[in-house]
């Protein structure tokens, strides 16, 4: 009887050990399967990324901008993409939204607004040719803010908005939300604050929206603007910060540049290239002329037989002039 009991215990222990080994084997097998699946997924991802990167390399493009996107405006098809979902400061690209909010409010464009002390740049200390006390029309303020990126003009436009600066910034963010710019946030009308941030994907939406405003198209593609200061014969010429609008080989519909240290050199445009309307977004370019170089490289690629053949290139990375004179009254300087 005792022998039977001992034999039973031995059999039970053996069964338990076998079950344990089986369970461990099953767990190990599952772990190995999961690990293999993970490796397979990573390999598939790397293969996809390699294919995409090779596609851009084969295009001959070597973009200096950290984030870039080119979209066919007619079809919405992305033709080139690089870090398009990277959130980054957008500097004076902000002023396109500033202009849309001003125009949406249907405020009198010939109404006079003044440059005040509060419109001076206390954040970056940037220079302005609009002295404190200068009076100009809302239209001219828009002209200088959009074309020459005049920060005091953009600040004055927000301050002269019903409800003031706070209401204006609120309207900017509501406009962004209405356009589906889910990753965009504004804190001022100038772009001097690096907390004005967006992505290339969102900025394509903003450029598309800005293109629907005839006045924005007219102003942003003007090469230069002569302003006659009241009280003397002196005229001041304000030039477009995007030199490409003065280049006859370009057909540009909307343009805006931007720069602060945190954002690097930025450029957004709507342009017709190879008889197709395109939206181009270039962010955080490392050199002053690099954004222009990138735009020229993209245009050349699009117009080339290689560009016409491929039309799509995605770079996947970790994380992917006419002149006129307008009178302006100037008071004491700042």
Q: Tokens 């800005």 appear where? A: 210
Whole-number Å distance between alpha carbons of 149 and 129: 11
Confirm whether 67 is a catalytic residue: no
State the catalytic residue, choosing from 92, 128, 189, 255: 92
Is the Cβ–Cβ distance between 69 and 200 less than 8 Å?
Answer: yes
Whole-number Å distance between alpha carbons of 94 and 146: 10
3-state secondary structure of 25: helix
Q: Tokens 């955080």 appear where? A: 284
Tokens of 77: 């098809």
Whole-number Å distance between alpha carbons of 167 and 310: 46
Confirm whether 149 is a catalytic residue: yes
Of the candidates 177, 104, 193, 190, the residue with the CA atom closest to the CA atom of residue 141: 190
Confirm whether 82 is a catalytic residue: no
Paired with 327 in beta bridges are: 228
CA distances from 115 to 8, 11, 63, 133, 328 (A): 98, 95, 39, 5, 11
State the catalytic residue, choosing from 59, 67, 148, 149: 149
Catalytic residue list: 92, 95, 149
């Amino acid at each position: 009887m005792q022998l039977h009991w001992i034999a039973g215990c031995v059999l039970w222990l053996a069964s338990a050990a076998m079950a344990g080994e089986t369970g461990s084997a099953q767990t190990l097998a599952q772990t190995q399967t999961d690990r293999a699946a993970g490796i397979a997924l990573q390999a598939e991802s790397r293969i996809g990324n390699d294919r995409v990167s090779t596609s851009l390399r084969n295009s001959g493009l070597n973009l200096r901008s950290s984030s870039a996107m080119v979209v066919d405006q007619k079809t919405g098809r992305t033709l080139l993409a690089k870090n398009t979902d990277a959130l980054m400061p957008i500097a004076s690209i902000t002023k396109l939204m500033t202009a849309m909010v001003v125009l949406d409010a249907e405020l009198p464009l010939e109404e006079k607004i003044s440059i005040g002390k509060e419109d001076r740049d206390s954040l970056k200390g940037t220079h302005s040719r609009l002295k404190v006390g200068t009076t100009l029309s809302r239209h001219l303020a828009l002209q200088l803010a959009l074309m020459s990126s005049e920060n005091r003009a953009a600040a004055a436009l927000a301050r002269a908005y019903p409800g003031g600066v706070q209401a204006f910034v609120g309207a900017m963010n509501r406009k962004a939300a209405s356009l589906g710019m889910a990753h965009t946030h504004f804190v001022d009308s100038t772009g001097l604050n690096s907390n004005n941030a967006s992505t290339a994907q969102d900025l394509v939406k903003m450029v598309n929206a800005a293109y629907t405003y005839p006045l924005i198209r007219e102003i942003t593609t003007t090469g230069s603007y002569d302003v006659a200061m009241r009280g003397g014969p002196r005229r001041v010429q304000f030039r477009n910060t995007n030199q490409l609008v003065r280049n006859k080989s370009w057909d540009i519909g909307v343009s805006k540049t931007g720069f602060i240290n945190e954002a690097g050199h930025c450029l957004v445009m709507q342009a017709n290239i190879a008889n197709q309307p395109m939206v181009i977004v270039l962010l955080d370019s490392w050199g002053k002329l690099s954004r222009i170089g990138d735009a020229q490289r993209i245009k050349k690629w699009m117009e080339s037989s290689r560009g016409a053949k491929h039309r799509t290139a995605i770079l996947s990375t970790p994380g992917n002039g006419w002149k006129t004179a307008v009178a302006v009254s100037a008071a004491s300087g700042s």
